[in-house]
Chain A
């Protein structure tokens, strides 16, 4: 399957991925409205973790053996048999945070205000995820495994 590959060595912590992820999943899909009007503010599903010169954008890996899916108490998380994407059914999620504990990458963010989680859905409605499309340095690449960028 196609995944978002992370090249931490060229990430410059500009956090555009976070911004465009937030906008893409907002109601208005408008940067000003998404940040200034929609409340509670959406949480980005990719988060750049920074320490010294190191900068790692972290987002769901859409694992082949997704422990979040196995752990989910409600059946809200499942791996799409066609695309391989690990997707959330927002209706079913109750915000129990079990998957947060079971994701070994810390890729799931609790959204306590909405009582559901925020996690990457690979922007399945777009040809290329918004974070990848807006990364100025190709620190995020959307590709099959082992295929050159």
Chain B
């Protein structure tokens, strides 16, 4: 059977596309390929897995019979080795190949591993797949101290899991604060306070220079040496300094790549009938008005959905996504979206109390960034106004009030949004 749709990547983006295709085309055959052997699981939940709170079954993003129910052929545990663009075939490892009429690249990201001496030792990990979490398990048995390199989102997610396992954690961050890419300074400081309260030893403004071996067992991790010469002993090192788009399949190909795969508002690449979405693609970022890497789950799913519609012939525009994150680590709720460290010419509204903090960044009376920490219940309203591109001038001061909510939004807008009863409904 010739698959009409071939999807590389069985995660948020790939599944979003497959579901959209099935909404429009119930017949065309779909084949999803992934080198991971599992049915689609929620990648962010690998930390819950590591913490012992979820098993694979509890992490499944769709029921096990999803593929069967949707007549999708899933080639799991199979790697795509290359793509023959003129021949329109994907080449699987082992030299089998598969033709496509429409191809989606939803290959996600790959962890960045810097060139640190000793990084090949046993007990050095990255943390982005369920397999990583599984392999790490074994090393945690004796409750060794763990050095986490990187104070970003993945480092945070990992640290929370390790704390739940009762393991001592040292977090080493190169910048002078954690989550520098997604938070502003006051919010980073709040998170740092929460980390320290949870017992995590935090070292900022430092990098790991070398990973050293154990005495009598040089091949296994025994400690790290920091740039300033400080030595820390540990039994496990996890490198979590960030990810890069996994573009290996389109190296030296006719598909245009910038940092990630370049796509238009239909999620189409520069090559006919080839689409891309998720962490590997530079989808439209409505805050910056251009294609950018916005590697979060919701953007991968929505971008995939739009790609799927277009692949199946239903012309649909991607509304765009931006960096938008939600944290619950260590019981402290915090969300951020868009431009949190404003450029020149932006207006910044801030309110702050004890453990709660709100900041909204405006440009020409439009919201371009926000941070809500502590009480996040109404953050969605602000983020909605941001996505819709609403001019907030008449009520902007309310955005950072404690009691901010729909009541501050002009009646017409509020009613339209809520689908409030049309006039003729009033008895």
Residues of chain A having any CB pair with chain B under 8 Å:
3, 5-8, 49-51, 54, 56, 58, 61, 67, 70-71, 73-75, 91-92, 94-98, 100-110, 112, 115, 138, 141, 143, 145-149
Interface residues in B394-423 by Cβ distance below 8 A to A read 403, 405-408, 414-415, 417-422
Residue from B62, B333, B424 within 8 A of A110 (CB atoms): B333
User: Given the known A-B contacts A49-B406, A112-B333, are A74 and B42 also in contact in the complex, defined by CB atoms under 8 Å?
Assistant: yes
Task: Say yes or no: B421 contacts A73, CB within 8 Å.
Answer: no
Beta-carbon contacts of B352-395 to A below 8 Å, as 1s and 0s?
A: 00000000000000000000000011111101110110000000
User: Given the known A-B contacts A97-B376, A100-B376, are A106 and B326 also in contact in the complex, defined by CB atoms under 8 Å?
Assistant: no
Chain B residues in 8 Å Cβ range of A70? 16, 298, 301-302, 305
Residue from B44, B54, B405, B415 within 8 A of A96 (CB atoms): B44
Task: Say yes or no: B337 contacts A75, CB within 8 Å.
Answer: no
Residue of A nearest to B370 (CB): A101
Cα of A4 to Cα of B385 in the assembled complex, Å = 23
Q: Is B307 an interface residue (CB 8 A)?
A: no
Residue of A nearest to B335 (CB): A101
Q: How far is the CB of B41 from chain A (nearest CB, A)?
A: 9
Q: Is B1 an interface residue (CB 8 A)?
A: no
Residue of A nearest to B415 (CB): A8
Q: How far is the CB of B262 from chain A (nearest CB, A)?
A: 23
Residue of A nearest to B424 (CB): A148
Task: Say yes or no: A104 contacts B380, CB within 8 Å.
Answer: yes
Residues of chain B having any CB pair with chain A under 8 Å:
16, 42, 44-45, 48, 54, 58-62, 297-298, 301-302, 305, 324, 326-328, 331, 333, 335, 337, 376-381, 383-385, 387-388, 403, 405-408, 414-415, 417-422, 424-427
User: Given the known A-B contacts A56-B414, A97-B376, are A73 and B425 also in contact in the complex, defined by CB atoms under 8 Å?
Assistant: no
Task: Say yes or no: B406 contacts A105, CB within 8 Å.
Answer: yes
Residue of B nearest to A91 (CB): B58
Chain B residues in 8 Å Cβ range of A148? 424-425, 427
Task: Say yes or no: B44 contacts A61, CB within 8 Å.
Answer: no
> DSSP majority for the B interface?
helix
Leading 3 A-B pairs by shortest Cβ distance? A104-B384, A71-B298, A51-B407
Chain B residues in 8 Å Cβ range of A106? 377-381, 405-406
Residue from A6, A94, A146 within 8 A of B418 (CB atoms): A6
- Enumerate 9 A-B pairs (CB-CB under 8 Å) in ascending A order: A7-B421, A58-B418, A67-B302, A70-B302, A74-B59, A94-B45, A100-B335, A100-B379, A101-B376
Chain B residues in 8 Å Cβ range of A149? 421, 425-427
Among B59, B327, B328, B376, the one with the most A-chain Cβ atoms within 10 Å of its Cβ is B328
Task: Say yes or no: A75 contacts B302, CB within 8 Å.
Answer: no
Task: Say yes or no: B380 contacts A102, CB within 8 Å.
Answer: yes
Residue of A nearest to B48 (CB): A94
Q: How far is the CB of A105 from chain B (nearest CB, A)?
A: 6
Task: Say yes or no: B326 contacts A100, CB within 8 Å.
Answer: yes
In the complex, besides A7-B426, A74-B61, 11 extra interface pairs with C-beta distance below 8 angstroms are A6-B420, A51-B403, A56-B406, A74-B42, A94-B54, A96-B326, A100-B335, A101-B376, A104-B387, A107-B380, A141-B425
Q: How far is the CB of A61 from chain B (nearest CB, A)?
A: 6
User: Given the known A-B contacts A7-B420, A70-B298, A73-B45, are A97 and B425 also in contact in the complex, defined by CB atoms under 8 Å?
Assistant: no
Task: Say yes or no: A75 contacts B42, CB within 8 Å.
Answer: yes
Task: Say yes or no: B328 contacts A97, CB within 8 Å.
Answer: yes
Chain B residues in 8 Å Cβ range of A94? 45, 48, 54
Task: Say yes or no: A95 contacts B380, CB within 8 Å.
Answer: no
Residue from A5, A98, A102, A115 within 8 A of B421 (CB atoms): A5
User: Given the known A-B contacts A100-B377, A101-B380, A104-B383, are A5 and B420 also in contact in the complex, defined by CB atoms under 8 Å?
Assistant: yes
Cα of A110 to Cα of B403 in the assembled complex, Å = 16
Among B326, B380, B384, the one with the most A-chain Cβ atoms within 10 Å of its Cβ is B380
Residue of A nearest to B63 (CB): A75
Task: Say yes or no: B421 contacts A101, CB within 8 Å.
Answer: no
Q: How far is the CB of A128 from chain B (nearest CB, A)?
A: 16
Cα of A7 to Cα of B387 in the assembled complex, Å = 26
Task: Say yes or no: A8 contacts B335, CB within 8 Å.
Answer: no
Task: Say yes or no: A75 contacts B61, CB within 8 Å.
Answer: yes
Cα of A105 to Cα of B158 in the assembled complex, Å = 31
Cα of A115 to Cα of B385 in the assembled complex, Å = 27
